[in-house]
Amino acid sequence: MKLNPIKRFQNTLDGIAVGTFDKVLLAKHLATMIHSGIVLDEAFEILIDQASRGRLKNILIEIRARINAVEALADAISGRPAVFSHLFVEMVRVGEASGTLEENLLYMAEQLERDYELKRKVRGASAYPILVLCLTFGMGMAMSYFILPKLIPLFLSLKVELPLSTKIVLALAQFMTRWAFVFFPSVAAAFFLLRMILRSDPVRPVWHLVLARTPMIGKISVNVNLARLCRTLGILLKSGIPITDAIRISHQAMMNENYKTVLAYAAARVETGMNLSDALIESGTAERILPLIMPRMVGVGERTGTLAEALLSLAEFYEREVDSTTKNLSTVLEPALIVLIGGAVLVLALSIISPIYKITGSLNPR
């Protein structure tokens, strides 16, 4: 469903105001109060008193008002996708219908915590190389704008043939001197334009597939998505949701378009009576983004009646893989970054020093 611009902006503000940690605490505190026998109206009154952020408090006040209007909790929290995802809403809905709201809220808190940990590990692993590359780029641009232009008159006055590297460096310095006020805004605009293109509906599936095929990054991307898929589907099945509904909800919870395609295909095939494992193997997309162990273990779970447990076990396996890969990422990338930075410094040094050597060589008596 397409949201109007005002609603989309409101959801963006909700997402900024209510972080993952707040949602985890909300689910845990609500589950604890329900376990203690506190009714929902009173529970939300306590949550409102505890809320320290204005927007979160306003959202909780709105939910309490909807509950007082004799709405179910799932209906009361719907309409705020940036705070309560479709997965969250459906877990609450099933919990209310089956009398397992406390357990489902704890499952949801666990899911949110696991997602947060995965994101934190990926961001932590990528922070170092991104920081080094940005500092290197910034240093190069600063030298091109502040230092190298001062050398241009000297080198142009020399009566020697300048090396190619020096000519390139001088051309870059002249470009930065004349067009810096256009260059930097253009780079920023190009970055945001590229980001918009990669997030567009036609390009997003291709971009996600490219990420999955990229060395190192692809392994992390695949394992993160498999961990989320298996844990989401496992928790939904464990909470008592029918498998076709669980697959559809998992489809909406996934961010990667290729995995959404796999789950959409699997849901359609499972409805016809096919096993989930066979549907995953049969999917053409699955051959590119699903390792064979995943549908095989799903098949074992289906045959033994322990599908939810098998999926949660797979989720833990892929989470450990993410942890191992992210820990090794810095070790693998560090030598490449050192070579890259060293090469840039070497080219810059030779570009400046080579003409000087030519001058001193031409001054030596013969």
Give residue 329's pLDDT: 75
Q: What percent of the chain has pLDDT over 90?
A: 14
Query: Per the structure block, which two tokens stand in for 114?
Result: 């696991």
H/E run at residue 352:
helix 307-363
Give residue 6's pLDDT: 45
Cα(251)–Cα(267) distance, rounded to whole angstroms? Answer: 9
Q: Are 11 and 80 in contact (CB under 8 A)?
A: yes
Cα(238)–Cα(309) distance, rounded to whole angstroms? Answer: 8
Q: Are 172 and 142 in contact (CB under 8 A)?
A: no
Contacts of 113 (CB under 8 A, 6+ apart): 24
- Mean pLDDT score, 267-289: 84
**Confidence label for 361 from pLDDT (cuts 50, 70 and 90):** low
Domain count, the chain: 2
Q: Cα 192 to chain center, whole Å?
A: 17
pLDDT tens profile 132-173: 888 877 877 777 777 777 777 777 676 667 777 777 877 877
- Mean pLDDT score, 325-334: 77
Cα(325)–Cα(122) distance, rounded to whole angstroms? Answer: 9
- 33 and 153, same domain (yes or no): no
pTM value is 0.75
Cα(125)–Cα(329) distance, rounded to whole angstroms? Answer: 6
- Mean pLDDT score, 336-364: 74
**Confidence label for 27 from pLDDT (cuts 50, 70 and 90):** confident
pLDDT tens profile 212-228: 888 878 888 889 899 98
In a domain, 90, yes or no: no
In a domain, 229, yes or no: yes
Angle subtended at Cα 355 by Cα 350 and Cα 356, rounded to the nearest 5 degrees: 95
- 309 and 216, same domain (yes or no): yes
Find, among 357, 252, 318, 346, the residue nearest to 117 by Cα. Answer: 318
Question: Which CATH number is 115's domain given?
Answer: 1.20.81.30
- 304 and 240, same domain (yes or no): yes
Query: Per the structure block, which two tokens stand in for 249?
Result: 């909800």
What is the domain range of residue 43?
5-84
Q: Where are the alpha helices (DSSP H) in 148-242?
A: 148-157, 164-199, 204-213, 217-238
- Would you mind telling me the total number of residues written for the chain in this entry? 366
* Residue in this structure with the two tokens 């920081």, named with its chain if needed: 131
Q: Are 166 and 348 in contact (CB under 8 A)?
A: no
Select the more confidently predicted residue: 230 or 239. Answer: 230
In a domain, 198, yes or no: yes
- 60 and 105, same domain (yes or no): no
